[in-house]
Amino acid sequence: MFTFKSKRKKEVKKLAKIPSHIAIIMDGNGRWAKKRMKPRVFGHKAGMDALQDVTIGASDLGVKVLTVYAFSTENWTRPKDEVAFIMRLPVEFFEKYVPELHKNNVRITVIGEREKLPAPTLEALERAMDLTKHNSGLILNFALNYGGRAEITQAVKLIAQDVLDARFNPGDITEDLLANYLMTHQLPYLYRDPDLIIRTSGEKRLSNFLPWQAAYSEFYFTDTLWPDFDREALRLAVEEFNRRNRRFGGV
């Protein structure tokens, strides 16, 4: 797991720009399993191994935040058994994988509507967040039962209520204020928006993932299916990011 550590300094030197916040749509687990004549959930299990490797790789590169799309508000429409299996993943993840992440100073956070998660899933998440809350390294931010439009809708409701409560006037609403009502407000201020969004498996859509925060993100699409994605693949994405010229609307 740590074979890359000794090379870490050299790698960072070669890559002039390390994205502070990388967000990943971990797609292709089902197809990966199908190719192996296995049930879809087999792919989700392999996806956890990929996530662990990529998280350690991101941490070694000096990435500050890694947000991963683990379950969207739309994923509830999947077969009941598959949903139940995905909901159990955090329990396994936090038992089997979190200890190593904790040793690597990784902090775990979650965005998404937590109230609708089954109690054991929520408990596992809370345990992991509590265990790692003082860690100062990479933030591994799970988007679980997350939907971007729902996030913005919720923000608008809260802002409307605050206007009704005379906390501020409609004219005081700025982009910065709105961003404070989004779920990503819990991330360090400078790293709330992803610099780089990766989607695996050949699909080229955002699928309701961080639509507000993605306004100036660079996109990286790869045909690699998520379980085959690893820290080397992450490095290739960061190398590509280094070749991009981000202008943020300027010249």
Q: Among all residues, which ones are annotated catalytic?
A: 27, 75
Closer to ligand FPP at the Cβ: 27 or 60? Answer: 27
Token pair 């139940």: residue: 84
**Residue 63 near residue 242 (C-beta atoms within 8 A):** no
Q: In what order do the strands lie in the sheet with 65-72?
A: 107-111, 139-146, 65-72, 21-25, 196-199, 218-221
- The answer to the question of residue 117 lying near ligand FPP (CB under 6 A) is no
- Tell me the closest approach of the beta carbon of residue 238 to ligand FPP, in angstroms: 20
- Tell me the closest approach of the beta carbon of residue 93 to ligand FPP, in angstroms: 3
Q: Count interface residues toward ligand FPP (CB under 6 A).
A: 18
| Residue 27 to residue 16: CA distance in whole angstroms | 28
Closer to ligand FPP at the Cβ: 11 or 82? Answer: 82
| Residue 106 to residue 174: CA distance in whole angstroms | 32
| Alpha carbons within 13 A on the beta-carbon side of 211 | 11
Closer to ligand FPP at the Cβ: 83 or 152? Answer: 83
Residue 235, both tokens: 């490095």
Taking residues 126 to 145 in sequence order and writing x for each that binds ligand FPP by CB under 6 A, - otherwise, the string is --------------------
Residue 130, both tokens: 């509590």
Token pair 């005081």: residue: 172
- The answer to the question of residue 199 lying near ligand FPP (CB under 6 A) is no
Residue 103, both tokens: 């040793």
- Tell me the closest approach of the beta carbon of residue 70 to ligand FPP, in angstroms: 4
| Alpha carbons within 13 A on the beta-carbon side of 57 | 17
Which residue number places its CB atom closest to ligand FPP? 30
Q: Which of residues 61-90 bind ligand FPP (CB under 6 A)?
A: 70, 75, 86, 89-90
- The answer to the question of residue 108 lying near ligand FPP (CB under 6 A) is no
Closer to ligand FPP at the Cβ: 91 or 173? Answer: 91
- The answer to the question of residue 146 lying near ligand FPP (CB under 6 A) is no
Closer to ligand FPP at the Cβ: 70 or 155? Answer: 70
Residue 34, both tokens: 């199908």
Please pick, from the candidates 8, 17, 31, 102, the single residue that binds ligand FPP as defined by CB under 6 A.
31
Burial degree of 169 (CB within 10 A; 0-12, 13-18, 19+) = exposed
- The answer to the question of residue 48 lying near ligand FPP (CB under 6 A) is yes
Phi, psi dihedral angles at 38 (to 5 degrees): -115, 160
Binding site for ligand FPP (CB under 6 A): 26-31, 44, 47-48, 51, 70, 75, 86, 89-90, 93, 201, 226
